[in-house]
């Protein structure tokens, strides 16, 4: 614009490259004018070409809404026209035109209403832009958005996203459920107001992992022992993680928080821990009381032994010095000495048992059962010969057990088989069989057998089925039972009176003590 034209107050000399009508017709967008009743009064050539009509057809009594799809028509009547009436101007309305051939032309439309003159509504002017590609793009965007939303709504974890300032922009249904917030209410609120995180044990508030992720730009991994305080006052144990959301240039534009309810797992874990602690406490208590008991037995046995030794020595002294003067009393004296010897043997056993109970060492090395049976037979040689017993055994495996303990078992079982022999010479056989992960040893004899009612009792300490006429204190099988059970096996007997007995015990092929 030159100084000149401004001073003249005249319109600047803008060259027109054609008549106004030509400009209108050749415009790169559709132009349409309707009366207040919606009838088309004028349309430019661009629009009539787009729609496949010749200009006359468009003017022949058609209304604007006749050119639209039905959906567009309803939208026009319920929204566009009202907006135009009230605001006089509406822009960027998306409507679909129907071409003469029935195909659809997606368009963006700006509308103006001519100011009303003397109370009558004015003409309507529309500029129409072909938006085929744009609308396709928008539909794809919408579909992607919906897919994303459906995906996030479908997953079982709670998801909350925020903007770069940590304000909630999205929550999925699981997040609504756990936090007690509705997405609509939470949107725009600070993340640490909507998802209040506390330490599980102290309920002291901790920094929300999203804020941490936004501040540091780092992914925040699962933090243990976090709880979520919900809007309605629940305290829910959760696993959570958070990450910054970056745009394609790497700028942090938001954050996302993912968490899940783990209160059930944590409750189970807690119960398990409690049960373990309780079991350990009971084990400790049991061990203590066992140790006390062993100690007591050892002390008691020891303290009983010396006075008993005195009794025996003095009794023998009396027998030696005054035996010939005792007359019938000498028999009584012999009974006294025998009783004292038995008591001494009992005390000896008690000491052994107590020592064994407090000895908790567990073998970890393999030992050859064949050798330990042979050792036991050697020890028992005198009574085997004396009773004309025959002892045989299978080829036995290697087992994980203290060798002296294994000798003790065989010695007790073979010894018992000889002690409780029947009228015939004892025949004793040590066998072995496979049993799921275990060796099952057996010791079969042809002795007197054991009444079914006593078969469980005999493994209890100091239980004797026979009177003092049979040797033994009743501690042997109790010790066997303890050895076997400590090694992870069990011991039992199958027997019928006068038909012999078979003692069984199992030992694990692999040490259960690990």
Partner 1 sequence: MSIFKRHNINIIGTGSKTIVFAHGYGCDQMMWRTVASDLQRDYRIVLFDYVGAGRSDLASYSRQKYGTLDGYADDVLAIIEAVATEPVVFAGHSVSSMIGLLAAIRKPELFDRLIMIGPSPCYINDGDYVGGFSQSDIDALLETLDANHLGWSRAMAPVIMKNEDRPELASELADSFCRTDPEIAKHFARVTFLSDNRADLPSLKVPSLLLQCADDSIAPVSVGEYLHNRLPKSSLVKLDAVGHCPHLSAPDETIRSIRQYLERP
Footprint of partner 1 (CB under 8 A): 36-38, 63, 65, 69-75, 77-79, 81-83, 85-87, 92-96, 106, 119, 121, 135, 138-139, 142, 184-185, 187-188
Residue with Cβ nearer partner 1 (8 or 114) = 114
Nearer to partner 1, 12 or 71 (CB): 71
Query: Minimum distance between the CB of residue 104 and partner 1, rounded to whole angstroms?
Result: 9
Strand order through the sheet with 491-495? 390-393, 427-435, 438-444, 501-508, 491-495
Cβ atoms of 161 and 188 closer than 8 Å: no
- The b-or-e profile of 93-115 (16+ CB within 10 A means b, else e) is bebbbbeeeeeebbbbbebbbee
Report in angstroms how near the CB of residue 196 gets to partner 1 at its nearest: 22
Minimum distance from CB of 236 to partner 1 (Å)?
25
Q: Specify the residue, 81 or 393, whose C-beta has the smaller distance to partner 1.
A: 81
**Contact at 8 Å (CB) between 159 and 174?**
yes
**Residue nearer to partner 1 on the CB measure, 63 or 509:** 63
Beta carbons of 93 and 107 less than 8 angstroms apart: no
Both tokens of 409, joined, read 């078992």
Alpha-carbon gap, residue 263 to 178, rounded angstroms: 11
Pick the closer one to partner 1 by CB: 13 or 86.
Answer: 86
Indicate the residue among 96 and 445 with the shorter CB distance to partner 1. 96
Nearest-angstrom CA–CA distance, 309 and 299: 16
Give least dist CB 60 to partner 1, A: 16
- The residue among 102 and 119 lying less far from partner 1, judged by its C-beta, is 119
Burial 188-199 (b: 16+ CB within 10 A, else e): eebbbebbbbbe
* Minimum distance from residue 75 beta carbon to partner 1 (Å): 5
DSSP helix, strand, coil percent of the chain (3-state; round to 5)? 45, 25, 30
For the bound state, the minimum distance from the C-beta of residue 134 to partner 1, rounded and expressed in Å, comes to 10
Closest distance to partner 1 from the beta carbon of 128 (Å): 15
Q: Is residue 128 within 8 Å of residue 29, measured between CB atoms?
A: yes
Query: By the 8 A CB rule, do 97 and 104 touch?
Result: yes
Residue 63 and residue 34 in contact, taking contact as beta carbons nearer than 8 Å = yes
CB of 88 to partner 1, least distance (A): 9
Compute the C-alpha angle 476/478/484, nearest 5°: 105
Helix (H, G, I), strand (E, B) or coil at 278: helix
Residue 63 vs 463, nearer CB to partner 1? 63
């Amino acid at each position: 614009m030159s100084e000149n034209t401004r001073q003249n107050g005249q319109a600047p000399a803008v060259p027109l490259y054609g008549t106004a009508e030509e400009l209108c017709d050749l415009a790169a967008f559709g132009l349409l004018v309707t009366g207040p009743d919606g009838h088309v009064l004028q349309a430019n050539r661009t629009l009539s070409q787009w729609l496949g009509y010749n200009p006359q057809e468009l003017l022949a009594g058609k209304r604007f809404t006749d050119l639209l799809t039905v959906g567009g028509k309803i939208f026009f009547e319920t929204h566009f026209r009202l907006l135009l009436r009230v605001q006089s101007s509406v822009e960027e309305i998306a409507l679909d035109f129907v071409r003469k051939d029935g195909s659809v032309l997606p368009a963006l439309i700006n509308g103006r209403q001519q100011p009303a003159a003397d109370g009558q509504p004015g003409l309507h002017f529309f500029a129409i832009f072909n938006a085929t590609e744009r609308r396709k793009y928008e539909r794809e965007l919408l579909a992607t958005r919906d897919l994303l939303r459906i995906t996030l709504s479908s997953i079982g974890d709670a998801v909350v996203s925020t903007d770069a300032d940590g304000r909630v922009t999205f929550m999925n249904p699981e997040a609504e459920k756990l936090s007690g917030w509705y997405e609509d209410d939470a949107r725009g609120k600070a993340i640490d107001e909507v998802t209040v995180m506390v330490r599980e044990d102290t309920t002291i508030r901790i920094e929300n992992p999203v804020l941490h992720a936004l501040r540091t730009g780092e992914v925040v991994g699962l933090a243990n022992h976090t709880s979520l305080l919900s809007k309605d006052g629940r305290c829910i144990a959760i696993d959570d993680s958070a990450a910054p959301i970056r745009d394609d240039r790497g700028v942090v534009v938001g954050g996302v928080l993912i968490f899940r309810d783990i209160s059930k797992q944590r409750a189970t874990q807690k119960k398990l821990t409690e049960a373990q602690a309780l079991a350990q406490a009971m084990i400790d208590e049991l061990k203590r009381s066992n140790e006390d008991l062993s100690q007591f037995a050892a002390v008691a046995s020891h303290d009983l032994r010396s006075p008993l030794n005195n009794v025996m020595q003095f009794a023998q002294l009396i027998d030696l010095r005054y035996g010939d003067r005792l007359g019938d009393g000498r028999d009584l004296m012999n009974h006294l000495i025998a009783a004292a010897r038995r008591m001494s043997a009992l005390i000896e056993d008690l000491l052994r048992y107590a020592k064994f109970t407090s000895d908790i060492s567990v073998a970890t090395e393999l030992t050859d059962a064949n050798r330990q049976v042979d050792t036991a037979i050697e020890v028992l040689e005198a009574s085997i010969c004396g009773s004309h017993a025959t002892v045989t055994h299978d080829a036995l495996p290697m087992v994980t057990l203290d060798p002296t303990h294994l000798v003790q078992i065989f010695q007790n079982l073979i010894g018992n088989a000889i002690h409780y022999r029947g009228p015939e010479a004892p025949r004793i056989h040590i066998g072995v069989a496979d049993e799921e992960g275990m060796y099952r040893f057996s010791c079969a004899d042809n002795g007197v057998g054991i009444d079914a009612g006593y078969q469980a009792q005999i493994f209890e300490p100091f239980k004797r089925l026979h009177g003092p006429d049979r040797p033994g204190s009743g501690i042997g099988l109790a010790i066997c039972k303890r050895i076997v059970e400590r090694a992870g096996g069990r011991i039992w007997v199958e027997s019928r009176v006068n038909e012999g007995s078979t003692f069984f015990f199992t030992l694990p092929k692999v040490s259960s003590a690990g």
